[in-house]
Amino acid sequence: MTSMMILNSIIVFLVGIVIGSFLNVSIYRIPKGESISYPGSHCMACQHPLGRFDLIPIVSYLCLKGKCRYCGEKISGRYLFIELITGLSFVAVFLRFGISIEGIIYALFIAVLIVLTMIDYDYMLLPTSVIWSGVILGVFLRIFQTVLHKNPEYLISSLLAAALGYSFFYAVFYMAKLLFKKEGLGFGDVRLIGMLGIYLSIPLILLTIFISSILASIYGIIILYIKKKNEPFPFGPFINLGAVIALFYGYSIITWYLEIVGI
Ligand SMILES: [Zn+2]
């Protein structure tokens, strides 16, 4: 890495942790139907409004040793984790896609996935408003690429991938309901895979479905073994993880697989 790249990575990381701090607010407020801009941030325990020195991502948490300045109540380490993971993913996106309009959109896409993952983890819910934000952003990306590269393939292949992912999950959703009289997938998962299709091409959306099913099955078996009962768990986090793996390594994985089977 050149020193310029290191400097850029640091700047991207700092932008990432600031966005991460906003994602924390979104994850907390969106499922409750609260506004993400008003009122300003306050302590969850004592409701004291937070000043600007309480709101510096990562730094405030470390300086205050993870406690509220006003009431001393412990602040969940999860806030720190979300800020860090957002900062690091933004650096990964920058190194992969460069600082460009496309890079910025992919970074925002990862931000949408982080919000969806955490809300699904907390509430087994994928808010439609967040998914629609992802859809609009994705369509904008594809239209931008279509114009930039003067190639309608970008928009067409992404809409086909979205339609394929959506129909496939819709069929699974419908069949599970019909056969087992219960929902194996939530309808949020159906919408989510449709949204992801816009960002991923057909091979990558299929890979996402494959990876997420394997990861969720492994997780399900582990949970069954530990808790000794079949508890429902959210599928969204696995779909999102599969999508990120497919976005970064998808074509390498597919090439590797095709070499192994000798095609
Ligand atoms: Zn407090």
227 and 115 in one domain? Answer: yes
Residues 36 and 117 in one domain: no
Same domain? For 43 and 11 the reply is: yes
Report how far ligand 1's centroid is from the alpha carbon of 58 (Å).
17
Give the pLDDT confidence score for residue 177 in this predicted structure: 83
Which residues span the domain enclosing 25? 1-97
pLDDT tens per residue, range 9-25:
999 999 999 999 999 99
Mean confidence (pLDDT) of the chain: 94
Say how many Å lie between the CA of residue 30 and the centre of ligand 1.
21
CA–centroid distance, residue 49 to ligand 1 (Å):
9
CA of 47 to the centre of ligand 1 (A): 6
CA of 71 from ligand 1 middle (Å) equals 4
Per residue in 165-190, pLDDT (tens digit) is: 999 999 999 888 888 777 668 899 99
Could you tell me the distance, in angstroms and rounded to a whole number, from the CA of residue 13 to the centre of ligand 1? 28
- Domain match, 32 and 140 both: no
pLDDT value at position 165?
Answer: 97
**Number of domains present in the structure of the chain:** 2
> Based on the domain organization, do 133 and 260 belong to the same domain?
yes
Same domain? For 198 and 119 the reply is: yes
pLDDT at 193: 98
Among 33, 63, 97, the domain boundary falls at 97
Is the whole model's pTM more than 0.85, yes or no? yes
Residues 187 and 260 in one domain: yes
Check whether residue 93 and residue 106 sit in a common domain.
Answer: no
Residue whose tokens read 């929902």? 183
Query: Which residues of the chain are modeled with pLDDT < 50?
Result: none
Given this model, what pLDDT does residue 183 score? 67
Burial 3-18 (b: 16+ CB within 10 A, else e): eeeeebbeebbebbbb
DSSP code per residue over 125-149: ---HHHHHHHHHHHHHHHHHHHHHT
Domain's final residue, options 43, 73, 97: 97
- What is the C-alpha to C-alpha distance for residues 13 and 90, in angstroms, rounded to an integer? 6
Whether residues 18 and 55 share a domain: the answer is yes
Residues 128, 43 within the same domain: no
Residues 70, 127 within the same domain: no
Task: Quote helix, strand, coil % in the chain, to nearest 5.
Answer: 75, 0, 25
Domain boundary among 97, 117, 152: 97
**CB neighbour list of residue 166: distance below 8 Å, 6 or more residues apart:** 190, 191, 193, 194, 197
The two structure tokens encoding residue 179: 């056969």
At 262 the pLDDT is 79
Indicate whether 38 and 105 sit together in one domain. Answer: no
